[in-house]
């Protein structure tokens, strides 16, 4: 991602969550692909791919210094995604900056304290939270529990950070914040934890 200061605003419930457009929904092995988030200008150019002429698209040419090896590379960004590594013929860069791999948020509860507000539907809340994560350069989120299944649903969709969630909070009756956890007795806790893990296992392969 190009390191830049990006203002974070509270998304409206009906918004398209603009940070989502910044997701580079690609992987190189197990490594999250580099991401570029919003920069001040795009230019409409004819994009070339594989040595051939392509169509006119909004692009951004970035002269990027890679944080992992301090080497400088020219990147071409199309709709927020790194589409090519090489200079745009006959032009200079539109912007310059440092580039680093996507960040990992190791502890988050996307459905709680969402910028969408507590009165919104769970799916709206997790998308608003994930949009802020994207805008800040986060491409993977670890969630050790949730009051609902909205994060698990988001994990099945493309274009968002990769979400690894533990599923519903599990707690003894009366032992957690009211209404947030799936309440189970001590005897029920091991099979309940196994049930949550099996239910979500397909999403985490």
The pLDDT of residue 2 is 38
Position 140 scores a pLDDT of: 96
Inter-residue contact 117 to 59 (CB < 8 Å) = no
Strand-pairing partners, residue 31, are: 28
Q: Looking up tokens 């002269």, which residue turns up?
A: 63
How far is the CA of 204 from the CAs of 124, 128, 194, in angstroms? 22, 22, 15
Of 5-9, 31-35, 135-139, minimum mean pLDDT range:
5-9
Share of the chain above pLDDT 90, in %: 43
Report pTM. Answer: 0.64
The neighbour count for residue 58, using CB atoms within 10 Å, is: 14
Entry field: residues in the chain: 205
Tell me how far CA of residue 125 lies from CA of 49, 79, 121, 134, 150, in angstroms: 38, 25, 6, 14, 9
Tokens 């991401």 belong to residue: 35
Of 125, 171, 167, which is closest to residue 148 (Cα–Cα)? 167
Q: What is the average per-residue pLDDT within 156-182?
A: 94
Least confident of 63-67, 90-94, 132-136, 192-196: 90-94
> Which domains does the chain possess?
36-99 (no CATH), 103-204 (3.30.110)
Q: What is the C-alpha separation between 166 and 108, in angstroms, rounded?
A: 11
Cβ-proximal residues to 183 (8 Å cutoff; 6+ apart), any chain: 171, 172, 173, 174, 175, 176
Tally of CB atoms within 10 A around 181: 18
Task: Let me know: does 132 contact 160? Beta carbons within 8 Å.
Answer: no
pLDDT tens per residue across span 34-80: 334 344 455 555 455 555 444 555 778 888 888 888 889 888 887 77
Among 108-112, 121-125, 190-194, 197-201, whose mean pLDDT is lowest?
Answer: 197-201
Residue-averaged pLDDT of the chain: 75
Closest CA to 129 of 144, 107, 114: 114
116 vs 6, higher pLDDT: 116
Residue 104's pLDDT band, with cuts at 50, 70 and 90, is very high
Q: Give CA separation, 86 vs 62, 99, 153, 176, in Å.
A: 10, 15, 37, 54
């Amino acid at each position: 991602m190009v390191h830049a200061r990006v203002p974070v605003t509270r998304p409206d419930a009906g918004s398209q969550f603009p940070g989502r457009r910044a997701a580079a929904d690609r992987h190189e092995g197990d490594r999250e692909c580099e991401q570029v988030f919003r920069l001040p200008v795009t230019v409409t150019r004819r994009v070339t791919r594989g040595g051939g002429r392509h169509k006119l698209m909004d692009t951004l040419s970035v002269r990027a210094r890679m944080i992992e090896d301090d080497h400088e590379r020219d990147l071409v960004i199309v709709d927020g995604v790194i589409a090519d590594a090489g200079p745009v013929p006959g032009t200079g860069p539109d912007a310059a900056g440092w580039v680093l791999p996507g960040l990992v948020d190791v502890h988050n509860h996307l459905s709680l304290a969402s910028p969408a507000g507590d009165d919104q539907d769970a799916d709206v809340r997790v998308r608003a939270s994930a949009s802020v994560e994207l805008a800040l350069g986060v491409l993977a989120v670890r969630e050790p529990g949730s009051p609902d299944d909205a994060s698990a649903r988001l994990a099945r969709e493309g274009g968002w950070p990769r979400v690894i969630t533990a599923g519903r909070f599990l707690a003894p009756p009366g032992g957690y914040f009211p209404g947030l956890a799936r309440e189970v007795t001590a005897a029920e806790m091991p099979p309940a934890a196994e049930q949550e893990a099996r239910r979500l296992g397909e999403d985490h392969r």
